[in-house]
Amino acid sequence: MQKKWKRILGALCILILLPCAGCATMGLKNYGSIAPDGGVMEAFDKFQVNPNYDYFYSGSEVYPSAVIGLDKSYTLESDLWKKVDMTPAKLREIVMSMKNKAATVNFAVALHGFAMLDDKGKRIGVWYSILEAATNASVRMKDSKTVLIDTPDINTWLQFEDGSRLRMR
């Protein structure tokens, strides 16, 4: 009799926990990622514009918080990212402005290049910013060709200006 109750209890636990586990992972299944990529860093440092990307920036036009390039076969759903007609000269202006800002707010702040990947690990674009801006962002696939990408926090540069975030990299 005791074995029977253990089986019933075990089956009940499975019936209750299985849907809960599905709900827990269901919210994450459409999320992609932002991964460090030396090739992206090199392309931005050399002011190389990929003709297959649409470019956007977040934050101030003078010194953006982040710049992204998204494969033209995808649509970015966001009112916060501002599209820019990118040329090598424009990219040079943006990158140099961001580097100058990084140097003035904190000698230890560095810019990095990242690959943006969809929920299946396929590269859909590039990201350029300080590390803190990328680590707080997410890439979510609304459908197979529509992407939602978080913008960096509004205080991306301000967090370093008061000297409270001094740390070496």
Q: Give the pLDDT confidence of 133-142 residue by residue, as tens digits.
A: 887 788 999 9
CA 41 from centroid of its chain's CA atoms:
15
Which tokens go with 30? 């459409």
**Amino acid 11: pLDDT:** 39
Q: State whether 90 and 117 are in the same domain.
A: yes
pTM over 0.85: no
Residues 45 and 92 both lie in one domain: yes
Query: Which residue positions in the chain have pLDDT lower than 70?
Result: 1-28, 106-108, 157-169
Write the CB contacts of 119 (distance below 8 Å, at least 6 apart in sequence).
29, 30, 31, 32, 140, 141
Amino acid in position 56: F
Domain containing 38 equals 31-161
Do residues 2 and 49 share a domain? no
Contacts of 132 (CB under 8 A, 6+ apart): 152, 153, 156, 159
Same-domain check for residues 55 and 12? no
Under 8 Å between Cβ of 74 and 145: yes
DSSP H helices, the chain, are 2-26, 38-45, 88-105, 131-135, 158-161
pLDDT of residue 28: 55
Total number of domains constituting the chain: 2
Pull the structure tokens for residue 65.
């918080």
- How many angstroms separate the CA atoms of 121 and 109, rounded? 28
Q: Flag whether 134 is in a domain.
A: yes
Note the pLDDT of residue 106. Answer: 66
Other CB atoms within a 10 A radius of the CB of residue 10 amount to: 10
Residues 79 and 113 in one domain: yes
Residue 166 resides in a domain: no
For residues 62 and 137, state if they share a domain: yes
Looking at the fold, whether 141 and 102 belong to one and the same domain comes out as: yes
